[in-house]
Structure 1
Amino acid sequence: MRGRRMYAFEIAKRGKDGSWSRVASGTGQFSRPPKASVRSIAERWIHEETGRLSGGRLLVVGRRRGVPRGFVPSVRIRLLDPAGAYPLAAAYIGLDRRDVVRDQYQLPPRDRVDRG
């Protein structure tokens, strides 16, 4: 792919009820293919949100693939055609389902830990 292409993008966070709420959107000219462009937007957004994200990993998918079943996204970044109607690629920030279960484990209070 040579030259620059115009894309629209949308960043959304997932609420506790599972619904997505848009936190940013815009358009821009990009010189890379859609998956590389959405990764770039996601990495820049992660850098700007330092200290405000709960953690997880970045997953980038093409237009024909959705989120894997074992992945629980908390942030969605979509790259769209210039009109904003046709998805070209997406990036998700989240946790693998097994990590979500592991994170729910609570350590015992410090005063009750057996010092043996």
Structure 2
Amino acid sequence: MRGRKMYAFEIATRGNASEWVTAASGVGVFSRAPKPTVRSIAERWIHEQTGRLRGGRLVVVGRRRGAPRGFVPSVRIRLLDRAGHRPLASAYIGVDRRDVVRRDGYELPTPMGVDRG
């Protein structure tokens, strides 16, 4: 991809009732294709949340896919077209379902509080 492209993005976390709650959104000009762009946004957000995340892994998917089966996401980052209507790529932060409850007592991460101030 050459040049610069304007994308909208949305970062959401799981609320108490398992619904997605928007934590941040915006529009920016980027020089990469959608999947590398959403990965970059996700990695920056992870870095900004140091000490607040309980672990997990990052999964990046294309425009037509949701989180993989067997994966329990706690954060969703969506990259949308400029108008914010058409999804282009998504990234999820979460854990594999088989890792949700193990013998060591690890449980699904609780919903994250996002500092909005």
Question: What TM-score, normalized by structure 2, do the two folds share?
Answer: 0.87
SS in 1 for 2:100: helix
Shift in Å, 1:90: 0.2
Q: Corresponding residue for 1:94?
A: 94
Q: Corresponding residue for 1:73?
A: 73
Shift in Å, 1:89: 0.1
Q: Corresponding residue for 1:25?
A: 25
SS in 1 for 2:16: coil
- Identify unmatched segments of 5+ residues in structure 1: 107-116
- Kindly provide the amino acid, as one letter, of the partner of residue 4 in structure 1: R
Q: Corresponding residue for 2:34?
A: 34
> 2-side partners of 1:42 and 1:13: how far apart?
12
> 2-side partners of 1:25 and 1:103: how far apart?
38
> 1-side partners of 2:104 and 2:35: how far apart?
32
Q: Which has the larger radius of gyration?
A: 1
> 2-side partners of 1:100 and 1:72: how far apart?
8
Q: Corresponding residue for 1:113?
A: none
Q: 1:27 to 1:103 in 2, by over 3 A?
A: farther
Superposition RMSD on alpha carbons, in Å?
A: 1.3
- Identify unmatched segments of 5+ residues in structure 2: 107-117
- Kindly provide the amino acid, as one letter, of the partner of residue 80 in structure 1: L
Q: Corresponding residue for 1:114?
A: none
> 2-side partners of 1:16 and 1:75: how far apart?
13
1:6-25 superposed matches below 5 A: 6-25=6-25
SS in 2 for 1:66: coil
Q: 1:103 to 1:35 in 2, by over 3 A?
A: farther
Percentage of identical aligned residues: 75
Shift in Å, 1:49: 0.3
Shift in Å, 1:105: 2.1
SS in 2 for 1:46: helix
Q: 1:69 to 1:18 in 2, by over 3 A?
A: same
Shift in Å, 1:64: 1.4
